[in-house]
Amino acid sequence: MLIAFNKPYGVLTQFTDQSMPPRPTLAGFGLPKDVYAAGRLDIDSEGLLLLSDDGARIAQISSPKFKWPKTYLVQVEGIADETHLAQLRAGVTLNDGPTQPATARLLEKAPDWLWPRDPPVRYRKSVPESWLELTIKEGRNRQVRRMCAAVGLPCLRLVRISVGPHRLDGLAPGQWRSEIG
């Protein structure tokens, strides 16, 4: 079984939380029993999370050696330009070493289908923002956020829209569906 889930902002990518007070987890969304996340998505990130009951499939999706592409919509602080995109496309050096090159493109604005974040991203009139679409084939801890910061574009919002051939395709935050493949 393979499940596509649109993880809302503020939800942990696990089924339990030992912190006090407990934070929202995957347990609150009626997902099938015995599925586990294939990879992770930080609590402050949103979007596509794949889950499965098949350990080999989970390993294939989440292991960097299989190089499954992951695509993100990224709202950044600042005006992104071709220099920033060229740096991301070449790969940037992070504190844990250089990244592989990314596919990066500038978007004119957020896509019309994108839901508002709850809570909203803090808006500041004096600070411009840009939207990028970024695809990576690694999956280091907070990698997209760190890559954007390394080129001078701090991340305000991060939404994963695809993992390999699987896409959000109309799933609202908190919704899930069974996938083929």
3-state helix, strand, coil split of the chain in percent (to 5) is: 20, 30, 50
CA 42 centroid distance within chain: 8
User: Which residue of the set 17, 34, 42, 112 is catalytic?
Assistant: 42
Cα–Cα distance measured from residue 101 to residue 121, given in angstroms and rounded to the nearest whole number = 28
Query: Is residue 112 flagged as an active site residue?
Result: no
> H or E stretch including 24?
none
Q: Is the distance from CB of 163 to CB of 70 less than 8 angstroms?
A: yes
Which residues are known to be catalytic?
Answer: 42
